[in-house]
Amino acid sequence: MSLEKQITELAELILKHKNSIVFTGAGISTESGIPDYRSPGSGAWEKYDSSIVSIPGFLKDPTQYYNYALEMYPIRANAKPNAAHLFLSNLEKAGLINGVITQNVDGLHLAAGNNNVHELHGSIRQSSCLECGQVFPMDDIINRVQKGENPPICEIFDGKPCNGLIKPTAVFFGEGLPTRPWTSSVDKCKEASLMIVIGSSLQVSPANSLPDVALKTGSDLAIIDLLDTPFDSRATIKIQDRAVHVSELLSKYLGL
């Protein structure tokens, strides 16, 4: 099927259902300058060992994570929502989707104007002490690391010395997902009659079980991703193209 026909088919599905839920992964943010994790030749895990964002790896040597964070910080700090993020914001404003579930920790869906966002893997915009739970803006923590405090330590909580290790609130490998966004995401998938996956290879558990939740309740499934996914054979439509390109074509078709 040609790309033009695929765009038409997906646009008609969106108009038909009007209660779609969108599920996004790293691939939607690559054209905002944020590298994804698994793309051949450019994925972050080809340059770094993914253990640096695992709880065992972080606790063993948090300096490795903060070295990585220092390199990534200017990229993340300067990233702006791209046409795909803005398309989803416009879909929500038009009443055509019921929200966005995202594996991303970059905050770009919120920056684009989506209000109903479920951040499954938390956010890199904040950090917290693993001992006392005190929360800090990640900008402040990165500033401390830039000045040579690696790893950053929580000094005082409630007037008493703490000395706890500070970690981003983003979910690391080996951690459970935050309860509230996970529960609300499962509910959204059960309610939706169309689930649109954008920029996720659907490899990370348990988030990759959400399409199955939607399918089991009779939902259609659309996937937009450059890579193959385990759900391609079960999808109503699979568009193997860039998220931004597809979003621009859909936006034009839908008049958004």
- Which CATH number characterizes residue 183's domain? 3.40.50.1220
Q: Which residues is 24 bridged to in the sheet?
A: 102, 198
What does the pLDDT profile of the chain (256 residues) look like in tens digits? 899 999 999 999 999 998 899 999 999 999 999 876 555 554 455 566 778 889 999 999 999 999 989 888 888 888 999 999 999 999 999 999 999 999 999 999 999 999 999 999 998 889 999 999 999 999 999 999 999 999 999 998 777 889 999 999 999 988 888 899 999 999 999 999 999 999 999 988 899 999 999 999 999 999 999 999 999 999 999 999 999 999 999 999 999 8
In terms of domains, do 74 and 84 share one?
no
In terms of domains, do 234 and 116 share one?
yes
Residue 85: domain span: 1-34+80-122+177-256
pLDDT of residue 184: 95
Q: Which residues are catalytic?
A: 121
Q: Which tokens is 92 given?
A: 């929500």
In terms of domains, do 130 and 13 share one?
no
* Angstrom distances, CA of residue 181 to CA of 28, 95, 104, 112, 176: 20, 21, 13, 19, 12
Do β-strands 126-129 and 160-168 pair in parallel, antiparallel, or remain unpaired? antiparallel
Domain count, the chain: 2
In terms of domains, do 222 and 132 share one?
no
Question: In angstroms, rounded to a whole number, what is the distance separating the alpha carbons of residues 156 and 145?
Answer: 18
Q: Which residues is 97 bridged to in the sheet?
A: 20
pLDDT of residue 185: 96
pLDDT of residue 40: 54
In terms of domains, do 191 and 111 share one?
yes
In terms of domains, do 7 and 117 share one?
yes
In degrees and rounded to multiples of 5, residue 40 shows phi and psi of -60, 130
In terms of domains, do 117 and 195 share one?
yes
In terms of domains, do 195 and 256 share one?
yes
Q: Which of 168, 195, 226 is the last residue of a domain?
A: 168
pTM metric for this prediction: 0.88
In terms of domains, do 66 and 137 share one?
yes
Rg (alpha carbons) of the chain, rounded to whole number = 19
In terms of domains, do 215 and 133 share one?
no
Q: Which of 168, 186, 201 is the last residue of a domain?
A: 168
In terms of domains, do 117 and 133 share one?
no
Q: Return the CATH number at 143.
A: 3.30.1600.10
In terms of domains, do 107 and 208 share one?
yes
pLDDT of residue 42: 45
